[in-house]
């Protein structure tokens, strides 16, 4: 998937758009060791010169579920509507939001082949979170040197470590 070219320069994080929404730049990533297996998600947010990092995990999950969870948790952490530039390296999330979700909703959360959408509860949660914000989707190639994406990846792997450590202590 080619990089989004509509966003030539990153938005000024201190700028307030005309509608008064806070500008947030966000990078999300998911990781899974085995598919399924222990997984983690990570989020890096920047706004008004400040950074916030989030991460978590699930002992038995898939990479796609962690990619979706990262975006959901990042948007959910915003306590009011924001103008969000969301950087993702997941073609699954990007295609889902840009190409598939409108048809799924129109078809009662079924694919064009009339099969139930996989991870429907996460797609519905993501749809609800996106509706609260103005979101610009930017696809970035994973592991290609984008500093925000690299940090989100580190956080996702920290989430994997969190659930692995919890499993060892149990």
Asked if residues 28 and 74 have their Cβ atoms less than 8 Å apart, the reply is yes
30 is an active site residue = yes
153 annotated binding-site participant: yes
Catalytic residue of the set 40, 133, 153, 159? 153
Catalytic residue of the set 89, 96, 129, 146? 89
Asked if residues 65 and 53 have their Cβ atoms less than 8 Å apart, the reply is no
51 is an active site residue = no
146 is an active site residue = no
E-strand ranges in the chain read 22-32, 37-47, 50-61, 82-88, 134-139
In a 13 Å sphere around the CA of 99, the CA atoms on its Cβ side amount to 7
Catalytic residue of the set 3, 53, 143, 165? 143
67 annotated binding-site participant: yes
89 is an active site residue = yes
**Structure tokens of 140?**
């970035």
113 annotated binding-site participant: no
Catalytic residue of the set 25, 67, 73, 83? 67
Preceding amide of 36 cis, omega within 30: yes
12 is an active site residue = no
Catalytic residue of the set 30, 39, 40, 56? 30
Please give the annotated binding residues for Mg(2+), written as ranges: 29, 67, 89, 153
Q: Which residues are catalytic?
A: 29-30, 67, 89, 143, 153
């Amino acid at each position: 998937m080619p990089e989004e070219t509509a966003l030539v320069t990153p938005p000024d994080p201190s700028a307030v758009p005309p509608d008064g929404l806070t500008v947030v730049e966000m990078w999300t990533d998911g990781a899974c060791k085995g598919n399924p297996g222990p997984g983690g998600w990570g989020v890096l947010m920047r706004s008004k010169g400040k950074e916030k990092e989030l991460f978590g995990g699930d002992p038995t999950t898939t990479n796609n579920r962690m990619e979706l969870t990262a975006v959901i948790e990042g948007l959910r952490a915003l306590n009011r509507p924001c103008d969000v530039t969301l950087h993702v390296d997941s073609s699954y999330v990007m295609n889902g939001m840009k190409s598939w979700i409108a048809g799924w909703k129109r078809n009662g959360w079924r694919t064009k082949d009339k099969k139930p959408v996989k991870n429907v509860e996460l797609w519905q949660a993501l749809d609800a979170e996106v509706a609260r914000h103005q979101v610009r989707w930017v696809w970035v190639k994973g592991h290609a040197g984008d500093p925000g994406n690299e940090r989100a990846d580190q956080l996702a792997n920290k989430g994997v470590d969190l659930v692995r450590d919890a499993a060892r202590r149990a």
